[in-house]
Structure 1
Amino acid sequence: MIIKSIGLNGKAQYAFWVVRLSTNSHISCATQIPSTKRFISTSPTQCTSLIPRASSLVAASPPNLKPYLQLMRVDKPIGTWLLYWPCTWSIAMATPAGQLPSLYMLTLFGTGAFLMRSAGCVINDLWDKDFDKKVERTKLRPLACGSLTEKQAVGLLAGLLSSSLAILLQLNWFSVAVGASSMALVVGYPLAKRYTYWPQFILGLTFNWGALLGWAALKGDLSSSAPFWMYAAALQWTLVYDTIYAHQDKADDIMIGVKSTALRLGEDTKKWLSAFGVGTVASLTACGMASDQTWPYYVALAATTAQLGWQVGTVDIDNGSDCWDKFKSNSWMGIILFSGIVASTLLKENEDSKELKNKLKVREDEMDDVTVN
């Protein structure tokens, strides 16, 4: 069987897949392409991606492993990046003046972000598998289409949480307590969409915990207001990007009774996104002032402001493809701000050194005056 697919933006792209049919094998159901909503669906007992855009790791993985990787969303790393960036901001901001952020800490938190995002996806799908069966974008997820059982998913979840705990235990005990306190949010978030039109707010509380944890890991406390301003900024940032994301599913959500900010805000979405964007920038400004950031930070902040403005100003909330593209673009904001904080921290040493040299020069001049007199 040859499958012809049409890619993004109306440009014809051809992917030829030869699929062998036999009585001893199954053709797997394909994961949805977010921008085109095209599926190839056959057997409900196995769910393997046939999408050329899927990550090479998932595409090349053994059939028995592939559903686990899909359940962890390995082929959609944007979620891991969005979880990771607030961690990096906090680590970079807590780094001593004139130094680069610790590669060890960045790696540790990067690994933790991957594991916890994967665990969150498993928890979400365990709660939502009955809903997922009714939604076009999610009906081919491993638990929804039957390629994995709940028992298998729970086993995977246990492994992910155990590995995450091992990562957390590498930090100081204060950080261990901070990290462990987020688990109630991690487990409870998937339930929020059943009871409130603001599940994106709960996601923001959950997803950006790293803004507090990264600071605590380096400083050993949360006595400064800076990480809390950063947490507030990241929370509002999440309200921007996840509301855009939620607009992909609004028709299905209405049908099955699931709530979201996309449904709550409706045609006023852009006004609210603008307000959340302003709140994000204001909180990041306060964070910069609280942590004595230098000019590169504010240059990066101006760039992130422009990126947020572009998202809100150009997103078509009735176009699932455009919503997905705008959602993915948020990783650029993450790396821009991280780069600005790193540069700002390096420059702090230069400014501190200049100030120290000026003080020493004044002291030398005073000593010379005393000697002359």
Structure 2
Amino acid sequence: MTFDFLPAPVLAKLTAYIQLLRLDRPIGTLLLLWPTYWALWLAADGMPSLANVVIFTLGVFMMRAAGCAINDFADRKVDGHVKRTKSRPLATGRIVPAEAVMLFLVLVMLSFLMVVFFTNTLTLYLSFGGLVLAFIYPFMKRYTHLPQLFLGAAFSWAIPMAWAAEANDVTRMAWLLFTANVLWTVAYDTQYAMVDRDDDVKIGVKSTAILFGEADTLIIGVLQALTVLILALIGAQAELGLLYYLGLSAMAVLFVYQQRLIRFRQREACFKAFLNNQWAGASVFAGLLLDTVLH
């Protein structure tokens, strides 16, 4: 769909908003969506309510967009110095900071209203934690070399929320799933940070890619192995069958492939490895879905 019929200034502003919210780059939405679906399907023993599937799909979409807006607001003075981000709307002046904050607030409010009107009290309480994490994560790279850990918590917070919405409880298995997803997120966002490492060192931005140094690929591998191990443990506790483990095996194979990509630490290869994670998450969900449907 094109919007060429719009006046040029309106089209330019709309394009800038789309780029700010990453509507043209769905990778982040997918990386949020798959673990959320894992939680919904596990909490409901394979039969989540259609209402919760719709609510959390829309919620993931809006909160990811909100996160991008506040992230670019936080990075507005440094994005122009990084090769990958120098053309972002705030860095180039096509959007002013107040617009980014406004979009963040509107998207967060819409997400919050969905929780208020269509879920339960426990999910509502948990949503405040998700809001705090979404707001503080973008600023962590100025104070700690572990911003990826905060992103992991932010990206994983939909898991206890989805579990609570479906089961009105957050069980030990939910927190195991949360832990697995935090580890996975730190692994793939370190791959992402490896793309910008040289630029980040110059401008003083911190990341796990810088912290890990020469041990980066090894630590990513350990995090990936722990992710698979915990997901296997969850499968055993939930008494899942062969199809789930086939999906989990596919994730493990993709992790090996990613290790090959990042072994020389080249920008393009590291970014390709990061993007490949959407298929890792999809593989686990496909195995979980098929196993619960056919079990």
So what's the TM-score if we normalise by structure 2?
0.93
CA–CA separation in structure 2 for the residues paired with 1:242 and 1:332: 15
For residue 90 of structure 2, what is the aligned residue in structure 1?
143
Alignment partner for residue 156 of structure 1, among 103, 107, 125? 103
In the alignment, is the contact (CA less than 8 A) between 1:227 and 1:287 conserved in 2? no
CA–CA separation in structure 2 for the residues paired with 1:58 and 1:92: 38
How far did 1:69 drift?
1.1
Alignment partner for residue 95 of structure 1, among 28, 44, 48? 44
Identity percentage of aligned residues: 35
How far did 1:93 drift?
1.0
- Aligned residue type for 1:229: L
- Aligned residue type for 1:90: A
Alignment partner for residue 208 of structure 1, among 156, 159, 163? 156
Question: Are 2:208 and 1:261 aligned?
Answer: yes
So what's the TM-score if we normalise by structure 1?
0.74
For 1:137, what is the secondary structure of its paired residue? coil
Question: Are 2:126 and 1:178 aligned?
Answer: yes
Alignment partner for residue 267 of structure 2, among 320, 328, 332? 320
How far did 1:317 drift?
5.0
Q: What are structure 1's unaligned runs of at least 5 residues? A: 1-55, 349-373
In the alignment, is the contact (CA less than 8 A) between 1:265 and 1:272 conserved in 2? yes
CA–CA separation in structure 2 for the residues paired with 1:156 and 1:255: 30
Cα gap change, 1:66 to 1:314, in 2 (>3 Å): closer
For residue 52 of structure 2, what is the aligned residue in structure 1?
105
Backbone CA RMSD of aligned residues = 1.8
In the alignment, is the contact (CA less than 8 A) between 1:93 and 1:342 conserved in 2? no
For residue 75 of structure 1, what is the aligned residue in structure 2?
24
- Aligned residue type for 2:30: W
CA–CA separation in structure 2 for the residues paired with 1:277 and 1:153: 34
- Aligned residue type for 1:71: L
My pick for the range that moved more, 176-185 or 272-281, is 176-185
For residues 306-345 of structure 1, the aligned pairs below 5 Å read 306-316=253-263, 318-345=265-292
For residues 1-373 of structure 1, the aligned pairs below 5 Å read 62-96=11-45, 99=47, 101-169=48-116, 170-222=118-170, 224-316=171-263, 318-348=265-295
In the alignment, is the contact (CA less than 8 A) between 1:115 and 1:161 conserved in 2? yes
Number of matched pairs: 290
In the alignment, is the contact (CA less than 8 A) between 1:58 and 1:66 conserved in 2? no
Greater fraction of residues in helix: 2
- Aligned residue type for 2:41: A
Give the structure with higher Rg (CA): 1
In the alignment, is the contact (CA less than 8 A) between 2:261 and 2:269 conserved in 1? no
In the alignment, is the contact (CA less than 8 A) between 1:193 and 1:258 conserved in 2? yes
- Aligned residue type for 2:92: C
Q: For each residue in 1:181-236, what CA deviation from the matched residue of structure 2 results, as whole angstroms up to 9, or x when unmatched?
A: 222211111111111111111110111111211111110011x2211111111111
Q: What are structure 2's unaligned runs of at least 5 residues? A: none
